[in-house]
Structure 1
Amino acid sequence: MGVLKFWVSDTDFSLIAHCLESAYFITVESIVLPTTVYRQDGIVHMERPGEGSVRLMMPWPVPEHGELVLCTGSLMQREKPYLLAVELARGKLVQLRDQISTWQMTGFEVPEDAAKTLSETHHTFAIAACRQDQQEEASVAAMKSISQTVAAMNQFIDAYTGQHLQAVKERTTTKGLPIAVLAELNKVPPEVTAKSLANQLSAARIDFAWCKVEPDEADGERNWETIDERLAWSEAGRLPVMGGPLLDFGPNGMPKRISAWTKDLANMQSFVCDYVESAISRYAGRIRRWEIATNTATGGGLDINEEQRLILTARALELATQIDRDADFFLRVDHPWGDYLARGQHRVSPMQFVDALVRSGIQLRGLTLEYSPNGAEDGDARRDAIEISRLVDHWARFGLPIILSIRMPAESDAHSGQQVDDMIRITKLMSAKSAVVAVECGRLTADASHSGIAFLDEQGEATTLFNQLMKADSAN
């Protein structure tokens, strides 16, 4: 067991104490390690298996930008404590510089104002790095450096996506963003907005939650009326539809009666396959793309282990491809960073789960990476656009098309813009990724029972998200 020590000022500790609960180490290969964090004699101790060099990832309050997950550089085992703020500042700055270099190799030209901002950021970090013998002063400078680096990052992303979109515009006559924009069709919208929505969206996703199609009080009877209504609206607007996820292994994702069969996997598999067959057979030819399952690696809804979830997912996917050979079947991946492994309650990472499916020879046609910084216990910690870009590059190694599903938390005012700015910036950046075929930007209509920004508010009026996407689309 290896231990790394970090010095944190009392002022900073009061701000980050809750963030330390989500801190974890990753290896050079980005493997998440079980991590234990505690404070002793004013020093933060972090334990993990082994004694090799690792990188620390943790949420950190960034002035003017909110809490963001930051990553240090590679840290070796040593007795002397690291200054936590300085190492996080170093890691973020190096990450930005690496990304700029990668973009420059593709022809990106660094604007003068962005270059000046980066130079100022380097100067601030140099102060923090050179004054580590004066810990308080170094921490203050490091905090400022982190804030400057995040601001510079947004500036560089906007410059890069602007140049990329301009290049695409010059090469093609097609108007609009060069990426498909999806919404979860959770409610049929008013007729007054239906036409403009159909023109703005590239496709819609209709949820096929088993527990809603076959509620417990229905005693096994399935009700497809809601799905039929939403599909009819989409077809009337000539809007392609993605169906699913069909199976949800997370909490409350399955009908309660299924939990009675957790000790009898063969019978459970028959129930699972029956539902999958019914759904796909009913809508064959009308829905060409499906999400077969979600929460497969993390689970939490049924008392079955990771291997059993893998078996059920593989069998459902195999059956689905036999029923509709012309359809594409995706797997929705929750917690795609695999940070849940840090708590030591799981053994299989999301990439290992997908790798097992791919190696089995089953025709998995794509992945939906779910990013849900919703503030809930089961949500993702908030990441910046470059972290998400690196995540997509990591998953692109499978050579499968990727859909990025973003579930931003709703703000107090549905028409405010902070979360929307993040959404638009990420969407534009994803348009430069050849592996990404679409971005799902949230629900179609705001719903009091679900937090998250949407295209329409509860009265059916266009929100800031819808207006900003239209603006970005018309500009290209």
Structure 2
Amino acid sequence: MGQMHFHVPDAAAGFFHASRWEDAYLCGMEGVPWQTRNVFHPTEASGVAAVDAARDLPAGFRSSASAGGRLTLTRGVDTSAKLLITSPIDRIGFRVLSTCSLRCIDAPHNLVVELARGSCHRVRAQADIWQRGGLSLSDRFDELLATGTERFLDALQPRQKHGVDAHGTGRALADCEAEIQSTRAGIEAISLLEQAAAELSKLFAAQSMAFRRTREPRLSTMMAAGVLPSDVTISRHRTSTRASPGRRDPSAAASSAAANVAANASPGLDDGPETIFSEISQAFNAVAVRISWGEIENASGTPDFASANRILDQCASTGMRVIGGPVIDHRAGMLPDWLALMDNHFDQLMSAMTKFVEATVNEFRGRVHLWNAASGLNVCGPLGLDDEQVMRFSIGVLQTIRRCDPQTPVVMSIDQPCGEYLARHADGISPIHFADALLRSGLGLAGIGLNFRFGYEQGDTQPRTALEFAQLIDRWGTLSAPLLVQLSIPAAPGLDPGARIKTAPVSLAPEMNGQAAAWARQQYDFARPLIETLLAKQIVHAVVWDGASDQLPHVMPHTGVIDSMGAPRPLHAYLAGLRDELLM
């Protein structure tokens, strides 16, 4: 049994208690989390230093907790590890911070100093790698990096002020002052270095995209909107015009798209689905139709393909490419209810799955350009399968699709690709190891899907900066398989009655206060750098936005680029600009 301890100074209490330390975890060099138990032991202190330091935090990050203490993470091994914790970052929001690899020792590590060290190492190392590859850095990045590094060094060696009071406690006062200075410098260093990381990611995306467009003026990347089978039609009407390559600035394209959207937006629920899908077609060049077991076969042995057929017919008439699936979505609420009758009857489950997949693939063969076979089988789900059964089930789905449709490419999708679920319980398979096993199975798997859901209470991926997101995509790229990346980010607070998955959105930025406009802007601000990073990566062949319109049936709460009243959100105008300027 190994324990890793972190000292939380009183001056860092506001920062720490605003962090989501209950969800913090330890991982090794591969990034796979260990199952971790987290305990915080507060110190019995006045907390004056903590309250004073909390004044330096943004209002949305302040906490009433006033005392520091010790954070202890317990796991089954005592090897070195990195700590990952979602914390508030000034001018950025809640993002995952990580330390460098630390030894498992009895003495506590200073939490703020080690997080600042991790940010410093991460941004400096990645800047060096990309610069060696030809990336040109900016003056703003250099300034942020230099200032952030200087503040990190101040956190390591604070300038002590010595003095002796009437009771002769000068050394204690000096030590206390030094700790306060160190903590403040460390928190400031984290903010500056993470801003430098954001600038670095922006430079990489812009310059990589410019280089890619010299060879591919219009990207073949599929930008797909996720839709559920329902009684909707896709209009052929497009209000935007296609620009010639290299003639327009992307911001101008986005502004033009926004003007077109505003002129043609449906103001409310009275407008028909044709208007809704006319707006969707402005922003996407493909549709991810959820031809899923739970949507198609409500009664055992009687699949209903009518709604899915109508959507696919409309996609064919408009020339939009189609991603079919996931055929199996291994989440509560996304599988047929009658499967509960097959509890502990794995052979019957396999037989029912095979019949459904055969019928589905035979029904839509030739009209689907990419099959998404299954998603979420790496996570413990409602079927209660053990590791061996998960592999047999996964291979069974793949074999059935390949047998019925040997020509169409097939991918298998992974939920929570960072593996946060492993930190909470032992059930589940390491995401990257699961994907590697499937690619080695010899079944002709064409690629891997990665499902990122940011900002939800359950089943989410902890929010990453664009830099760490790029590093994560590169790590998955070592499998040498094309990637399909699915994004889900909420644009409104509260429960969503129209969503299949009943989970509450969680704010990714401070001071949201339930304002719909602020949440919609948060969705745009968080998604934009991630999408730009994905489009700059040639290994990413498809990006799926999981939720086209909140007016239509959808899976995740409040994810639509069109809200429940039919008004386009800020992300819609941005995607429309990309569609018009960059994509085929």
Normalising by structure 2, report the TM-score: 0.76
- Residue matched to 2:37: 36
- Residue matched to 2:133: 106
Q: State the one-letter code of the partner of 2:226.
A: E
Q: Per the alignment, in what secondary structure is the counterpart of residue 331 of structure 2?
A: coil
Residue range with higher mean Cα deviation, 136-145 or 197-206: 197-206
Distance 1:146 1:316 in 2: 45
- Residue matched to 2:559: 453
Q: State the one-letter code of the partner of 2:182.
A: A
Shift of 1:163: 2.1
Contact 2:11–2:184 (CA under 8 A) maintained in structure 1: no
Identity %: 24
- Residue matched to 1:136: 180
- Residue matched to 2:543: 439
Shift of 1:63: 2.2
Shift of 1:263: 1.8
Q: Which has the larger radius of gyration?
A: 2
Distance 1:261 1:34 in 2: 30
Shift of 1:445: 0.8
- Residue matched to 2:577: 471
Q: State the one-letter code of the partner of 1:168.
A: R
Q: Per the alignment, in what secondary structure is the counterpart of residue 476 of structure 2?
A: helix
- Residue matched to 1:205: 288
Distance 2:560 2:214 in 1: 32
Q: State the one-letter code of the partner of 2:370.
A: R
- Residue matched to 2:207: 163
After superposition, the C-alpha distances for 1:167-199 in whole angstroms (9 at most, x for unaligned) are: 334445x34x66331110245464346456435
Distance 1:234 1:316 in 2: 25
Q: Does 1:285 align with 2:312?
A: no
Residue range with higher mean Cα deviation, 378-387 or 281-290: 378-387
Gaps of 5+ in 1: none
Q: Per the alignment, in what secondary structure is the counterpart of residue 516 of structure 2?
A: coil
Aligned counterpart in structure 1 of residue 190 of structure 2, from 134, 146, 164: 146
- Residue matched to 2:5: 5
After superposition, the C-alpha distances for 1:207-259 in whole angstroms (9 at most, x for unaligned) are: 122122122xx464322222122212211210010011111222123212222
Gaps of 5+ in 2: 44-68, 160-174, 235-272, 493-514
Q: Per the alignment, in what secondary structure is the counterpart of residue 445 of structure 1?
A: coil
Q: Per the alignment, in what secondary structure is the counterpart of residue 478 of structure 2?
A: helix
Q: Per the alignment, in what secondary structure is the counterpart of residue 547 of structure 2?
A: strand
- Residue matched to 2:105: 78
- Residue matched to 2:224: 182
**1:25-424, aligned counterparts within 5 Å?**
25-40=26-41, 41=43, 42-131=69-158, 134-172=178-216, 174-175=217-218, 179-186=221-228, 188=233, 190-192=273-275, 194-195=277-278, 197-198=280-281, 200-215=283-298, 218=299, 220-346=301-427, 348-411=429-492, 412-413=515-516, 416-424=520-528
What's the Cα RMSD here? 2.3
- Residue matched to 1:22: 23
Normalising by structure 1, report the TM-score: 0.93
Distance 2:465 2:577 in 1: 22
Q: State the one-letter code of the partner of 1:322.
A: R
Shift of 1:303: 2.6
CA change 1:147–1:329 in 2 (3 A) is same
Q: State the one-letter code of the partner of 1:184.
A: G
Shift of 1:165: 2.5
Distance 1:4 1:219 in 2: 51
- Aligned positions, number: 472
Contact 1:288–1:326 (CA under 8 A) maintained in structure 2: no
Shift of 1:15: 4.9
Distance 1:460 1:390 in 2: 36
Distance 2:274 2:40 in 1: 58
Q: State the one-letter code of the partner of 2:560.
A: A
Q: Which has the higher contact order (CA 8 A, sep 6+)?
A: 2
- Residue matched to 2:53: none
Shift of 1:426: 1.1
Distance 1:127 1:348 in 2: 42
Q: State the one-letter code of the partner of 1:246.
A: V
